[in-house]
Amino acid sequence: MTNTSILTLDSVTLALPDGRLLFTDLNETFDQRRTGLVGRNGVGKSLLGQILAGQRQPSSGQCRRLGPVHLLNQQVIEHSATLADLAQVGSVIAALERIEQGSVDPSDFDTVGQRWDIRKQLQVQLQRHGLGQLDWRQPVHSLSGGQAMRVALIGAWLSDADYLILDEPSNHLDSDARAQLLSMIDTWDRGLLVISHDRSLLAHMERIVELSSLGLQAFGGNYSFYAAQKASQMAQAQQQLARLKQEQQRQAGELQRQREDLERHQARAGRQARHANQAKILIDRQQERSQATAGKQRREHRDAQQALLGKVRDAAREVEQASAITLHAPTPQRHAGREVLALQTLHLPRGTHKPLNLRLCLGQRVGLLGANGSGKSTLLKLINSELPAPTECLRLSGETALLDQHCSTLPGGTSVLDHLRQANPMLAQGDLRTRLAQLGLDAARIELPSGLLSGGERMKAALAAVLYRERPLDLLLLDEPGNHLDLPSLAALERMLGQFRGALMVASHDAVLLQNLALDDYLHL
């Protein structure tokens, strides 16, 4: 194993099958420093991770790797059949079993390499991380989302890689599992790239690299340093753009004044020449000189305008070509203080065995806490009438909606535009498109089947359908709403929830999100 882990991008460009350029001419070196990769939903972070890992070829340019790379992405979880596949050691164990059954195929020995005790290593790590009840033969569909991510992370740490690339590794993890992940990261002594929007996780990085419409830009330091530098950089770029636009307006006024002066001068000279009874040849020659002067002035004006326009365009490129994310808070239909939810000695069919008691009124906001498997999602489904509950134990009043982390309300074959139209048929077509554009959803992509969109784009679409439904909400239920949302969208969500006047119940392991929501109380399962 090498002592240096380096990935190098050399003029890397990626074009999508529809011909759209996702990013162009990327140049960057990723060394052994713990690095976080951030950027807006749909900008291409996961695809860049695949290029860095050698699982996807760029349209042009190249990626050089010093040592083996291990990529953990969401597709690994979705496409794995067994726990061993999820840990990305399924092929090694299969080759090992064939050898034990008498195989002498050289490819089997190459696959196993030096990993003859991989089954024992895997079981030891499962035991160490509180998953000793699991077996490498176990089907993935029997695992919870949190268990699946933890197994995938164990596989990453068991790999022989010199460089790890982790794509949204904290998704589905509860507080204890997130603490384990941070501990594993702190002890990893080789190259590490974390693609994430998790601000707590990014705080443990030594460097942040941002992928945007401007390309890749590196910021030395953790997330707090990045956020401060980014804010300062954007403010300076916007100020420079505003100054140049003012200069552009001033120049346009000055050029217009010069043209009017020249036209008045030419008209006056022509009248004087005629009144002086000059010969026609002299008048014609004077007009030619005047026209030549006017032509020269027009060329100088055009050159000056083009030079300033170029500066304005350069300044505009410094301001990332992405509009601010905007969410509008729905308004409850009735007066504040009215009871919308009452739980009285409610027993969950799955999760905690303790009976739950809670009274929630309009304007109140509650955080729902508990380890994976404690019943948070089950409780939210009971409240949303997706699971049956005794009427004497659960009383509900008003309009309620649930947005879960899997965007299960959004059919994969339905476009984002159609989904929002079904949620609110009273909104005009232009209003639908405007609301989606304010969420940062590209106009060309809102008509695609939602199954083709990124996780963040799907989350925004599902969020739009919940917020902008025809009947305003009295009770909003959120199950890990921060999963898949980019940093600007998370900030917009926090601002919107701060303005929401209905009742709110949110289940999340994102400590920063919960803190920013200024919750009134917590319900621990």
Query: Using 50, 70 and 90 to split pLDDT, how confident is the model at 121?
Result: very high
Distance CA 185, CA 188 (A): 5
pLDDT at 497: 83
Does the pLDDT at position 2 exceed 50?
no
pLDDT tens digits along 259-269: 777 667 766 66
Query: Using 50, 70 and 90 to split pLDDT, how confident is the model at 33?
Result: very high
pLDDT tens digits along 480-525: 888 778 888 888 888 888 888 889 999 998 888 999 988 999 999 9
By CB neighbour count within 10 A (0-12 exposed, 13-18 middle, 19+ buried), where does 343 fall? Answer: buried
Q: How many CB atoms lie within 10 A of CB 125?
A: 19
CA distances, 204 to each of 6, 167, 198, 346, 503 (Å) = 20, 15, 10, 40, 34
Within 8 A by CB and 6+ apart from 240, the residues are: 315, 318
Distance CA 345, CA 157 (A): 44
pTM of the model: 0.76
Kind and range of the H or E element at 394?
strand 394-396
Distance CA 420, CA 425 (A): 8
Q: For residue 361, which of 471, 524, 525, 521 has the smallest C-alpha distance?
A: 521
pLDDT at 16: 86
Q: What's the whole-number mean pLDDT along residues 463-486? A: 85
- Angle at Cα 498 formed by Cα 494 and Cα 501, nearest 5°? 135
Q: What's the whole-number mean pLDDT along residues 30-35? A: 93
Does the pLDDT at position 155 exceed 50?
yes
Domains 6-222 and 339-524 share a fold: yes
Tell me yes or no: is domain 339-524 CATH 3.20.20.70: no
Query: Using 50, 70 and 90 to split pLDDT, how confident is the model at 212?
Result: confident
pLDDT at 327: 75
Give the rounded distance of the alpha carbon of 169 from its chain centre: 14
Domains of the chain by residue range: 6-222, 231-318, 339-524
pLDDT tens digits along 268-283: 666 655 555 555 565 5
- Determine the residue type at 35: T
pLDDT tens digits along 398-418: 889 898 877 777 888 888 888
User: Which contacts (CB < 8 Å, 24+ apart) does range 235-243 have?
Assistant: 237/315, 237/318, 237/319, 238/319, 240/315, 240/318, 241/312, 241/315, 241/316, 241/318, 241/319
* Top-confidence residue, 151 or 461: 151
CATH code of 6-222, in short, is 3.40.50.300
Q: What's the whole-number mean pLDDT along residues 55-76? A: 91
8 Å CB contact between 7 and 163: yes
| Mean per-residue pLDDT over the chain, rounded | 84
Strand partners, 207: 35, 220
pLDDT at 1: 42
Distance CA 88, CA 471 (A): 47
